Amino acid sequence: MLLKKLKQKSPLIYFICSRIVTMVFLLFFLGFALFGLMELAPGDIVDQMMTQQIMASAEGGPKAGSLAQGQENIFDDAQLAKTREELGLDKPFYVQYFRWLKRVIVDHDLGVSLISRAPVSFLLGSRLMNTLILNLISLVFITLFSFILGVYFSSKAGTRLDVGATFFALFFHAFPGILLLILLQLFASITGLFPVTAYPDFPYSEAPLKFTFSYMHHIFLPLFCSFLGGVGGTMRTIRATMLDQMGMPYIFALRARGISEKRVFLNHAFRNTINPYITGSANLLASLFGGSLILEIIFAYPGVGRLTYEAVLQQDINLVLANSMFLSALVLAGMLISDILLAFVDPRIRYGAEK
């Protein structure tokens, strides 16, 4: 009864609440699936720790031989089992997951990294801002240039310029992003015009102004790659929407009333290109966050994607789960925001309203 009244009085609020509930269930099943997939991986973090200690002792100098011969005594089954029990790895994966979930919900604690023993919240917070800044800058540039180029080339439809722009848009949209990143890094290495890493080698607190300019110089090539990969598809969507709108009956009616072509083009047809972009922006944001994983690995950028990759290699389940869940929550929140914006931009959309 209460939900029905809320749906009648505030359809948008009801829609937001229902989407949030859906997001919670999606995150729950995502975390469950991640735990299950990590369980299927060969070995566990105890094996990783054992391997690291063996390698460290093997590189320790003259005593390496005797240490290597005594590893079987050091890492016996009883000690390994005790270590797994201390870390909670002796339980089935679903028991581990519900323990982690209880700790997060009740104690608001993401746990500690099983490798570094540092709090997961600290590791995530130290990398999160870098990833957000990189992807938000990419989103702003892709949005700005997609609208400018999409609107401009829609006015040049059928010309050689439009055909050439469409060809290059399709080419870079289909070009493998990982290959483009490697080629750009080779370009930076050969020419020396740009750094081969995407982050300055000194902290922001040391020299804020110098760090800002150095940061812009370091991330230029990764941003350029992200821009080329994202602007092609978005520009083509806006161009196609503009051409579709220019053939609508209301456009002929506006022209018949003597309204200038510039006003028809920008004030009326252009406004109707916003809806498809808002709908596709959530997918664009998801692709940016997904692509930043490869970008951060190749250009050694200290972001959440690279942190997640290192955690997966080390099978640090607490770190993997926290990073993956947080990025997934950001993508789901972006989709929710795009749906809400549609209701404000287009008065015809009424979420949850009775028909």
**Residue 354 scores a pLDDT above 60:** no
Query: Concatenated DSSP letters for 119-157?
Result: BHHHHHHHHHHHHHHHHHHHHHHHHHHHHHHHHHHHTTT
**Total tally of structural domains belonging to the chain:** 1
Within a domain: residue 331? yes
CATH number at residue 271: 1.10.3720.10
**pLDDT value at position 61?**
52
Within a domain: residue 122? no
Q: List the one residue out of 342, 136, 144 whose CA is nearest residue 235.
A: 144
Within a domain: residue 121? no
Within a domain: residue 3? no
Within a domain: residue 262? yes
**Residue 50 scores a pLDDT above 70:** no
Within a domain: residue 261? yes
CB contact at 8 A, 352 and 7: yes
Between the CA of residue 245 and those of 162, 165, 212, 264, what are the distances in Å?
A: 18, 20, 42, 10
Within a domain: residue 114? no
Residue with tokens 């947080």: 326
Tens-digit pLDDT profile for residues 298-319? 888 888 888 888 888 777 777 8
Within a domain: residue 296? yes
CB contact at 8 A, 302 and 127: yes
Task: Kindly state the average pLDDT of the residues 309-336.
Answer: 81
**Residue 22 scores a pLDDT above 60:** yes
Structure pTM?
0.76
Percent above pLDDT 70 for the chain: 81
Token pair recorded at residue 234: 């978005």
Q: List the one residue out of 296, 351, 300 whose CA is nearest residue 323.
A: 296
Give the residue numbers spanning the domain of 241. 128-345
